[in-house]
Homo-oligomer: A and B are copies of this chain.
Amino acid sequence: MTRTEPGFEAWCTGQAARAEAALAACLPDERQEPARLHEAMRYAALGGGKRVRPLLVYAAGELAEDVAPAALDAAACAVECIHAYSLVHDDLPCMDDDALRRGRPTVHVQYDEATAMLVGDGLQAQAFISLGALDADCLAPAVRVLAAASGSLGMVGGQAIDLSAVGRRLQADELERMHRMKTGALLEASVTLGWLVGHRGEPPPAALSDYARAVGLAFQVVDDILDVEADTATLGKTAGKDADNGKPTYVSVLGLEPARALASELGRRADAALEVFGARAARLRGLADLIVRRTS
């Protein structure tokens, strides 16, 4: 059941490079004062990462007949800045205390803890600076979506539940709720932002939200599977750390095979939701497939 059309991998590579270039242009230059902060912000956000969220923005943008590339870039930078900031803060000693990220020393190891804190804070602000480039009719719903996905009822709230869940046994529905907030919310927002930019701020149809929710959850289920299966070199981050930290995962709650089955089911659900969009949804379909089948 491969849904991947010819040229899809090349599209991904090209769009990831496009996101990298857009981020490099959006972040303050590292010669600009405070230079060390800007260098560290660029270290945190550039030069790595799968750019899944920007790819979702670009793919959802293709649902529109005509879309301004610069506006899509602004939305792509915004979601990636939020993602990058969350990784920097997550890696700090008071959180996950991780020394390795994307195969490189984490920001607080490469710089220092105070700088890492400010890098995260600055990248969150940078996300909204980036959205500031949008036209007012699109900017307003985009800010509402991104802020809600990032805040205490979205990503940050999911991290808080994650912290409190260490060493506890969660039910499958609690685990789903946590991951929908922690990872799913921002992935969903990425899809929504791509739509909003292409449709002058018009709300997305329910089918697109169904797709986004399925993909958002699938991403985390696969993450949990990879945390068990892959090695540190492939992941570019410490493998097995969730299990080691006593964190509940889809694998620990459901078991490995049921977790794999859930990931496949979510992939099918994402695919089905896209039917109404026809050929325009080819990239979104490819991304769902990629997210379910990824090995790192």
Partner-B contacts on A (CB < 8 A): 28, 32-34, 36-38, 41, 85-86, 89, 92, 94-95, 112-115, 117-118, 120-122, 124-126, 128-129, 131-132, 134-137, 139-140, 143-144, 146-148, 150-154, 156-157, 159-161, 163-164, 201
In chain B, what residue has the closest Cβ to A37? B160
Does A151 lie within 8 Å of B136, measured CB to CB? no
CB-CB under 8 A for A121 and B36, given A143-B132, A147-B132: no
In chain B, what residue has the closest Cβ to A131? B143
Cross-interface CB contact of A37 among B86, B124, B152, cutoff 8 Å: B152
Does B147 lie within 8 Å of A128, measured CB to CB? yes
Does A94 lie within 8 Å of B122, measured CB to CB? no
- Can you list 30 A-B pairs with a CB-CB distance of less than 8 A? A33-B157, A34-B160, A37-B152, A37-B157, A38-B152, A86-B121, A94-B113, A94-B114, A114-B163, A115-B160, A118-B152, A118-B163, A120-B121, A121-B124, A121-B156, A122-B151, A122-B152, A125-B150, A125-B152, A125-B154, A126-B147, A126-B151, A129-B144, A131-B143, A132-B143, A132-B148, A135-B140, A139-B139, A139-B143, A140-B140
